[in-house]
Amino acid sequence: MSFQDKTLQCAECGATFTFTAGEQEFFRSKGYTNEPKRCPTCRQARKGERNGSSYRPRQMYPAVCAQCGKDTEVPFEPREGRPVYCSNCFSKIRVNR
């Protein structure tokens, strides 16, 4: 089957883009039956979102290590009556379990 370049319109931004014969051949080899709905730029942006490039740093909370007394930060809100450990002490405790 011979493929020919097609001009498509992006469902995301409305721009027209070329779905090349080579891309069509690649899509067919992968078993894809639908044409792409997004232009390469929007496709890349969407892929980046899914892969975490819109990464947000974790919320960290101040705490005092129950083992050594050192000030530290943890990725959860400490609760009253529950010990919190710095990463060094936590590693030691975890190895001993």
Per-residue pLDDT tens, the chain, 97 aa: give them: 689 999 999 998 999 999 999 999 999 999 999 999 999 989 888 887 776 655 566 788 999 999 999 999 998 999 999 999 998 999 888 777 6
Residue range(s) defining the domain that contains residue 10: 6-50
**Residue 1, domain member (yes or no):** no
Whether residue 29 is contained in a domain is answered as: yes
Q: Is residue 73 part of a domain?
A: yes
Looking at the domain assignment, is residue 39 inside a domain? yes
Q: Which pLDDT score, from 0 to 100, does residue 78 have?
A: 93
User: Same domain, yes or no, for 15 and 34?
Assistant: yes
- Total domains in the chain come to 2
Q: What's the 3-state SS for the chain?
A: CCCCCEEEECCCCCCEEEECHHHHHHHHHCCCCCCCCCCHHHHHHHHHHHCCCCCCCCCCEEEECCCCCCEEEECCCCCCCCCCCCHHHHHHHHHHC
Within a domain: 90: yes
At residue 96, the pLDDT reads 72
Q: What is the pLDDT of residue 45?
A: 85
Q: Are 45 and 10 in a shared domain?
A: yes
